[in-house]
Amino acid sequence: MIFKRSFAGGCLLVLLALAGAVPVAADDGGAAEPPKVELVLDVSGSMRARDIDGRSRMTVAQQSFDAVVDALPAETQLGIRVLGARYRFPGSSKALGCTDTQQISPVGPVDKARAKAAIATLRPTGWTPIGLALRAATRDLGAGETTRRIILITDGEDTCSPPDPCEVARQLASQGTHLIVDTLGLTLNDKVRQQLTCIADATGGTYTAVQHQNELTGRLNQLVQRAGTTYKRTPVKVAGTAGCADAPTLAPGVYTDRERFSEHRWYRVTVAPGQELRASVSVSLDRTLNLDHGVLLRAVSGAGQELVRGTDAGSGRTDVQSTGLRWSNQRPGASPSPDGGSGGTQVCLVVSNSFSAPASVRTAPGMPLELTVDLAPSSDAPGGPDLGRGWLLLLVLAGTGLVAGLVTGWLARWRVAIWKEN
Amino acid sequence: MRVSLLLGSAAALAVLPAAAVPAAAGTSPSPRPVIGTAGTSFLTATTVEPGQPVRVPASTGDYLYWSFAAAAGQTGRIAVTVALPPAASRHGAATYAIDVFDGLRRRQACTAGPQNATAAAGTASVRLQCTLRQVRAWAEPWSDDPLPGTYYLRLAASGLPEQDLGLPIRADVRITAKNGTAQPAGAKLKAPLSPAVAPGATLAPGATPSSGPVNSAPKPAERVKGWFSWPSSRWWWTIGGGVLAAVLAVGGYHLTRHPRRWFSALR
């Protein structure tokens, strides 16, 4: 018995080891566009400062760029733009210095030798027109379906505002293509950090303070790699409306929109009988906001009846506030809704939020909103299990068996006794 | 003889339930490559298989996302260690937190933590843990019970001095899954809760979306079941109960039919 038991246990372990749930990797597929990244490097006069590992900021940036160009994935298209490379600061007029940005390597398949040669000739020179450089970099990257990434490396605050580079970044992110700006600061200066974190938050990017050469190289490589692996997962732009009647009808997929404080955005989905609607929404906190916030997603029928809601609230520092819901269309053929088209029920999704901001913060453009819509076969409620389990079951079955045996045996004795008498 | 037979059957039955309950087993021990990346949003989350180690260099203030798939009956467990920047460059205490979301980006509860922890200005690292609820096989559409599908893990600083943003940190993440019996028995979710990740498309009003294959976040593979859990442990309990009943019925019959044999044997 002991042998049997341990053998059974061994079998069980082997089977369980084999049976571990292995997730199926997601397949990206889709667009054939290559990943596009633009490095924007500040070549302003302050880059002369020798404070990173005893070398000048410029030298460190140049060496890191060389390493990134060497390690570039084959399909990634990398462009390089500089700002403040031509007119001296101080010494030239602000009007002239603040128009100073050029692309030294176009976004396209990279000629490594040429790109490195162009980087090597750069000398710290002029002003810091960050807003202008961001606008130009967005133009360089062009329009398209996939995510574009700008990597901004600077050591000084913008010397050319207005326009405030953070406002520029928010504007760029809200229009046209999907844009992310990652920022790297080559100094621990408070103003620089505030400006760069603002730009990063406004576009869903990251901020890194660089203090050593290897940190810069490692981070640049990480960002370029990230661009290469995730650029196809891009939401498509959609404009929600203020009511259900004229809301856009959505197919399964990921969407992006903008929503202002306390605004309601409506979308429509056609759910066929036997299908389940799965929707989720994330609202990004892309600016300075008040402490407490929340987001609400509701599914409403064409007649205005609420079907289901998802809600989440939070407090303090976070990047997105998100929630989701499921709704099954489980009444095949029953009461087709008046506005239902070809067999499906029209379900409206309403996204609302309870964000607020201090008076000084601009409310336009609205906060980025990401909506995923999916339709899956709906799952019926399970019936009760057909079989039993547990010690009570064994006791009941054993007791029933014993009573049945005793009664049968007693009956048999009684019959034999009667038969003998007769 | 008869007594020993009865005893043998009873012992055999006693083994059944012990074997029928799937033992707690970790994921396979073979070493797997370390994952060195993390996403920065739900959409770009890096897929991790349970048991696979993750080590990512990052900056304080980054929001790091990973996704993993969980099947019905599994209980996920997450352990995160964040190596903090050198104490000299920090300005105060920092609070780190892990948040777990299901495939519909709904927040999931941790049954055991600590889910968030505050590191004093001098400490070198902070350790976070989260044990999730057991994934159910089915749930009503209106509930937010954990279901088979994608889960997202977000690691972020939920509170830190503004001056400390951008400093280098390193995150070590370990996601493990413990298998168990899925509840409710006999129920099944037809499609796992794995959201679409491909761009969508707007349709003409009234048009029905074509149900083509949509790219989605990681889906759990259908669990291959062990011999003892096929088709479910309920079969073994019920069959065992039937055998026990039959044995006791025969025993009972003999007891009433020929009581002298039994009582003389005892004497």
Q: How far is CA B64 from CA A204, B7, B95, B97, in A?
A: 12, 59, 15, 11
B159 with B105, same domain?
yes
Residue A11 has pLDDT above 50, yes or no: no
Q: What is the structure's pLDDT at B202?
A: 78
What CATH number corresponds to the domain at position A363?
A: 2.60.120.380
A319 and A193 share a domain? Answer: no
Q: Is the pLDDT of residue B205 over 80?
A: no
Q: Which residues of A touch B57 (CB under 8 A)?
A: 218-219, 222
ipTM for the predicted complex: 0.84
Residue of chain B whose alpha carbon sits nearest to that of A190: B163
pLDDT single digits (tens) A250-267? 999 999 999 999 899 999
What pLDDT does B150 receive? 93
Whole-number Å distance between alpha carbons of A216 and B265: 89
Nearest to B5 by CA among B236, B235, B263, B254: B254
Contact (CB<8Å) A27/B215:
yes
Q: Tell me: pLDDT of A14 over 60.
A: no
Is residue B49 within 8 Å of residue A22, measured between CB atoms?
yes
**CB spacing of B19 vs A12 below 8 angstroms:** yes
Rounded to an integer, the average pLDDT of B180-195 is: 84
pLDDT band at A372 (very low <50, low <70, confident <90, very high): very high
When the pLDDT of each residue in chain B is averaged and rounded to a whole number, the result is: 82
**Same structural domain for residues B108 and B147?**
yes
Name the residue range of residue B42's domain.
Answer: 23-184+216-222
Question: Domains in chain A: how many in total?
Answer: 2
* Ranges assigned E (strand) in A56-177: 77-83, 101-105, 148-154
| B249 in the same domain as B146 | no
Of A215-224, A242-251, B3-12, B236-245, least confident by mean pLDDT is B3-12
Under 8 Å between Cβ of B198 and A30: yes
Rounded-to-integer distance, Cα A162 and Cα A208, Å: 24
The H-or-E segment that residue A3 falls in is helix A2-18
Asked if A188 and A270 sit in the same domain, the reply is no
Residues A273 and A356 in one domain: yes
Do A257 and A209 belong to one domain? no
d(CA B120, CA B184): 44
Claim to verify: residue A226 and residue A240 sit in the same structural domain: no
SS3 B55: strand
Q: Report the distance separating Cα A202 and Cα A169, nearest Å.
A: 7
Q: Which of A227, A149, A156 is nearest to A185 (CA)?
A: A156
**β-sheet bridge partners, residue B102:** B151
Does residue A140 form part of some domain? yes
Using alpha carbons, list the distances in angstroms from residue A133 to A40, A66, A83: 7, 21, 6
Whether A338 has its CB under 8 Å from any CB of chain B: the answer is no
Given a cut of 80, whether residue A342 has pLDDT beyond it is no
Q: Which pairing describes strands A207-209 and A236-237: parallel, antiparallel, or unpaired?
A: unpaired
| Residues A184 and A48 both lie in one domain | yes
Tell which wins on pLDDT, B80 or B232.
B80
Shortest Cα distance, chain A CAs vs residue B248, angstroms: 5
Our separate counts of H helices and E strands in chain A read 9, 16
Contacts of residue A270 in chain B, CB cutoff 8 Å? Answer: 203, 206-209
Closest Cβ–Cβ partner in A236, A270, A379 for B208: A270
Residues of A numbered 381-400 whose beta carbons fall under 8 angstroms of chain B's beta carbons: which are they?
381-383, 385-391, 393-394, 396-400
The model's confidence at residue A418, banded by pLDDT at 50, 70 and 90, is: confident
What confidence category does residue B12 fall into, taking pLDDT thresholds of 50, 70 and 90? very low
Please give the pLDDT value at position B229.
Answer: 52
- In angstroms, the CA A169 to CA A323 distance is 27
Q: Which domain holds residue A224?
A: 36-230
* DSSP secondary structure string for all residues of A176-192: SS-EEEEEEESS--HHH
Residue B230 has a pLDDT of: 58
Dihedral of the alpha carbons of A238, A241, A246, A252, in degrees to the nearest 10: 40
Q: Name the average pLDDT for chain A.
A: 84
Angle between helices B2-20 and A2-18 (to 10 degrees): 20
φ, ψ (nearest 5 deg) of residue B40? -120, 5
Whether A410 is covered by a domain: the verdict is: no
| A342 Cα to chain B: minimum distance (Å) | 6
Mean pLDDT computed over B149-161: 93
Asked whether residue B140 is assigned to any structural domain, the reply reads yes
Rounded Cα–Cα distance for residues B4 and B10 (Å): 10
Cα–Cα dist A268/A226, whole Å:
33
Inform me whether the pLDDT recorded for A305 exceeds 70.
Answer: yes
Tell me, yes or no, whether A24 lies in a domain.
Answer: no
Half-sphere exposure (Cβ direction) of B10: Cα atoms closer than 13 Å: 10
Q: Tens digits of per-residue pLDDT, B91-139? A: 999 999 999 999 999 999 999 989 999 999 889 999 999 999 999 989 9
Tell me the chain B residues in contact with residue A218 when contact means C-beta distances shorter than 8 Å.
57
Among the listed residues B106, B108, B75, B74, the one whose alpha carbon sits nearest the alpha carbon of residue B222: B74
Q: Residue A142: its pLDDT value, please?
A: 86
How confident is the model at residue B169, as a pLDDT?
A: 94
The H helix count followed by the E strand count for chain B is: 3, 12
pLDDT tens figures, A45-90: 888 888 888 899 999 999 999 999 998 888 889 999 998 887 777 7
Last residue of a domain, one of A340, A356, A377: A377
Is the CB of B106 less than 8 angstroms away from the CB of A30? no
> Is residue B190 one of the residues assigned to a domain?
no
Same domain, A217 and A319: no
* Percent of the residues in chain A that have a pLDDT greater than 90, as a whole number: 42
Among the partner-chain residues B166, B245, B246, the one whose CB lies closest to the CB of A193 is: B166
Say yes or no to pLDDT of A30 above 70.
no
- Domain stops at, among A230, A264, A295: A230
Nearest Cβ partner for A379 among B57, B104, B189: B189
HSE-CB for A367 with a 13 A CA cutoff? 32
Chains A and B form CB pairs within 8 A to the count of: 382
pLDDT at A51: 86
CATH code, B69: 2.60.120
- At A19 the pLDDT is 38
Residue A15: which of B37, B217, B227 has the nearest Cβ? B227
Q: Per-residue confidence at A26, pLDDT binned at 50, 70, 90? A: very low
Mean of pLDDT values over A145-168 = 86
- The rounded distance, in Å, linking the Cα atoms of A177 and A148 is 8
The reply to whether residue B156 touches residue A317, judged by beta carbons under 8 angstroms, is yes
Question: Do A268 and A217 share a structural domain?
Answer: no
Asked if A385 and B242 come within 8 Å (Cβ–Cβ), the reply is no
Task: Name A347's bridge partners.
Answer: A269, A301
Distance, CA of A160 to CA of A96 (rounded, Å): 10
Contact B43 A233 (CB under 8 A): yes
Q: What is the pLDDT of residues B89-100, one digit of tens each?
A: 899 999 999 999
Q: What is the residue type of A251?
A: A
Token pair for residue B228?
């003892």
Same domain, B136 and B172: yes
Q: Does the pLDDT of residue A420 top 70, yes or no?
A: yes
B205 is a domain residue: no
Confidence at residue A279, expressed as pLDDT on a 0 to 100 scale: 94
Q: Kindly report whether the peptide bond that precedes residue A23 is cis, defined as omega within 30 degrees of 0.
A: no
Residue B113: strand, helix, or coil = coil
Say whether pLDDT at B16 is over 50.
no
Same domain, B6 and B51: no
pLDDT digits (tens, 9 = 90+) for A211-222: 999 999 999 999
Note the pLDDT tens digit of each residue in A390-416: 899 999 999 999 999 999 999 988 888
Q: What is the DSSP letter of B229?
A: G
